[in-house]
Amino acid sequence: MLRLIERLGPVEASAASDTLTLPFELRIRGRLKAQSDSGRELGLFLDRGPVLRSGEGLKAESGEVVRVCAAVEPVVTARVAAGLPLARLAYHLGNRHVQLALGEDDRGGWVRFPPDHVLEELAVLLGAELEHHNATFDPEPGAYNQTGGHSHGHSHSDAHDHSHEHHHAH
């Protein structure tokens, strides 16, 4: 079994010796037994936390690199007018603390999520047209997860005492 132990971030396809295609529900796990796209036995032994992104490289103990690919899976794409209606849709769906993918194409902006009748009803109430189809699901990483950790990103070098309050709206 090839033991994958390190996240490398995005890598070119040519840098990898194999690929591992996984649905979203498996890309959130740090420990996993899987089979590569070429049929090799793989074991993931990674830190918990960040979702494995499509295009991310994983380094094996041997130094070999395997590239992660997002699987095509059932999704719902909600479309609504650009501007405030789209912002409102993204806000209310995101306020449910679910993973969302955001994007745009030649038909305008969209919000994508795994099938869920409650989210679908909410989206329709907000004026969205729903499309049930199969596509990759690679949700937004979130502002605090851009580099993989939760950090407030500030430091101080002044010599006086002071305190900080952090308000996080969800």
Task: pLDDT tens for the chain, 170 residues: list them.
Answer: 999 999 999 999 999 999 999 999 999 888 999 999 999 999 999 988 788 999 999 999 999 999 999 999 999 999 999 999 999 999 999 999 888 999 988 888 899 999 999 999 999 999 999 999 999 998 987 665 554 433 333 333 344 444 444 444 44
Find the domain containing 97 and state its range. 72-140
| Measured distance CA(26)–CA(52) in Å, rounded | 9
Instruction: Mark which of 70, 88, 121 sits at the end of a domain.
Output: 70
Looking at the fold, whether 64 and 88 belong to one and the same domain comes out as: no
Tell me which residue of 77, 86, 60, 75 sits closest to 24, measured CA to CA: 75
Q: What pLDDT is stored for residue 142 in this prediction?
A: 66
Tell me which residue of 62, 69, 67, 89 sits closest to 22, measured CA to CA: 69
Report the domain count for the chain. 2
| Measured distance CA(44)–CA(29) in Å, rounded | 9
Tell the residue number behind the tokens 């990483």, with chain if given.
Answer: 141
- What SS3 state is found at 43? strand
Residue 133 sits in a domain whose CATH number is 3.30.70.790
Q: Is residue 49 part of a domain?
A: yes
Looking at the fold, whether 94 and 52 belong to one and the same domain comes out as: no
Q: The pTM is what?
A: 0.74
End-to-end CA distance of the chain: 42
Looking at the fold, whether 8 and 66 belong to one and the same domain comes out as: yes
Alpha-helical (H) ranges within 126-169 are: none
Q: Is residue 170 part of a domain?
A: no
| Measured distance CA(167)–CA(146) in Å, rounded | 19
Residue partners of 31: CB distance under 8 A and separation at least 6: 44, 45, 46
